[in-house]
Amino acid sequence: MAPGEIHSPANELAIKQFDMAAAKLELDPNVAVRLRRPDRAMIVSVPTRMDDGRVHVFTGYRVQHNDVLGPFKGGIRYHPEVSLGEVSALAMWMTWKCSLVGLPLGGAKGGVACDPAELSRNELQSLTRRYTAEILNFIGPEVDVPAPDLGTNEQVMAWIMDTYSQHKGHAVPEVVTGKPVAIGGTLGRREATGRGVVYTVLEAAKHLGMDLTGCTAAVQGFGNVGSVVTKELAQLGVKVIAVSDRTGGYFDPQGLPVDKLLEVADRNHSLEGFPYGQKISNAELLEVKCDILVPAALEMQITEENAGRLQCRILAEGANGPTTLTADAILAQNNVFVIPDILANAGGVIVSYFEWVQDLQNFFWTEDEVHIKLRDMLTKSFHEVLHMSVKHKVDMRLAALMIGIDRVAKAMLWRGLYA
């Protein structure tokens, strides 16, 4: 790695993927050298008063990868493993994702290394407000617009919006997306990522000549993305035979009761103790024989070690970066059709974009309008990626990256930047 690059397995994966696409595109080297690194990477200290009176200093990050197409956009993650490298990788993927689906936005990501499940509501609020204060000069509706990600939700977004608004002296709903509807959020944002994953699965199934009715699915992660994917797949007649969360997984080859899964997750914020199906580990879930596998938790879950044992026909990446490069090669050999993360989970940022547009215009859409526009954009992007994949004889991931990177590179050249 060159000086200035940020070391971590996820970031090295993101950079290697970029290098492969850049080589295939024969990208101008002056552009390529710039795009391998973020525009700005921040580490902030987040002192937080805990309920027992102690002050604990958490570490927070915000990485802004590239804003050539428009303001930075990207989620905020609360998880114990959050690091500068992980956030940098996620920021780079956001740049390609926004560009791939045609949004006038750049890529960013942020996070705080903490375990939100261990924090009280007061602690979570104090941490969020202090983190926002620390990055306040670097975010804003025209600069950088955060959103929810792993471990954060509409309540966290509401606290960010409030902290920013207090500082400005007036309400600024357009500073974050994924807010509650009552303070300028959009209808359909909470379900957007999961719905988007399912829209791309529908297109993949059509392409492969599969009838989804009666197909089976396994879903890793049962949070915002995984729970919605499970619900939407079940509504299409897919039998969901395995699901998991951080506490482990559940498997029933006859199909799990999806309404009960949703009820338990809603009540307990976890699937722990779910009384149906056979208990399995997260690693076992990935290897269950099924038609559709949806990783919707963390990155780097499908590796050289387990890729050969996957038994699915479609791998729809709800999570960001769940598959390593060596795993990609094994999956291709085994004829697994991969819907890459920057396409499969782009529904979240698409509807975040809709929310930002509605806030800027103070004019709000119906839920049907949101769903229809989301489906149109994702379907169009799916077919662009498929076309690129066939035309250049590359896999779907490389095709998606090539489209995303090419648009950013062209914008840089038009603007006269770096070359």
Residue 360 CA: distances (Å) to CA of 9, 28, 177, 331, 366: 38, 36, 12, 43, 16
145 binds ligand NAD (CB under 6 A): no
Measured CA angle at 345 (ends 259, 298), to 5 deg? 80
For residue 325, what are its two tokens? 């490069």
| DSSP assignment of 350-390 | HHHHHHHHHHHHT----HHHHHHHHHHHHHHHHHHHHHHHH
The enclosing H or E element of 329 equals helix 325-333
245 binds ligand NAD (CB under 6 A): yes
Strand pairing class (239-245; 216-220)? parallel
85 binds ligand NAD (CB under 6 A): no
Residue 342 or 394 having the CB closest to ligand NAD: 342
Among 17, 99, 125, 220, which residue interacts with ligand NAD (rule: CB under 6 A)? 220
Within 152-211, the residues that bind ligand NAD by CB under 6 A are 193
Q: Which burial class, exposed, middle or buried, applies to 44 when counting CB atoms under 10 A from its CB (0-12, 13-18, 19+)? A: middle
Q: Cβ distance 349 to 327 under 8 Å? A: no
Active-site annotation, residues = 109
110 binds ligand NAD (CB under 6 A): no
Among 298, 330, 339, 400, which residue interacts with ligand NAD (rule: CB under 6 A)? 298
In angstroms, the CA 95 to CA 64 distance is 9
150 binds ligand NAD (CB under 6 A): yes
Nearest distance from residue 2's CB to ligand NAD, in Å? 27
Residue 103 or 225 having the CB closest to ligand NAD: 225
In angstroms, the CA 255 to CA 138 distance is 47
Residue 320 or 389 having the CB closest to ligand NAD: 320
Nearest distance from residue 110's CB to ligand NAD, in Å? 12
Strand pairing class (314-316; 337-339)? parallel
Stretch that binds ligand NAD, among 208-216, 254-262, 312-320, 330-338 (CB under 6 A): 312-320
Query: x/- contact string, 353-392, with ligand NAD (CB under 6 A)?
Result: ----------------------------------------
Q: Cβ distance 262 to 234 under 8 Å? A: no
- In this chain, which residue has its C-beta nearest to ligand NAD? 223
10 binds ligand NAD (CB under 6 A): no
Q: Cβ distance 50 to 123 under 8 Å? A: yes
221 binds ligand NAD (CB under 6 A): yes
284 binds ligand NAD (CB under 6 A): no
DSSP percent split of the chain into helix, strand, coil, nearest 5: 50, 20, 30
Stretch that binds ligand NAD, among 5-13, 167-175, 243-251, 396-404 (CB under 6 A): 243-251
148 binds ligand NAD (CB under 6 A): yes
Dihedral sign computed on CA atoms, order 97, 222, 62, 84: negative
Nearest distance from residue 81's CB to ligand NAD, in Å? 9
Nearest distance from residue 373's CB to ligand NAD, in Å? 17
Within 318-337, the residues that bind ligand NAD by CB under 6 A are 318-320
Q: What does the binding site for ligand NAD look like in residue numbers (CB under 6 A)?
A: 148-151, 193, 220-226, 244-246, 282, 296-298, 318-320, 345, 348
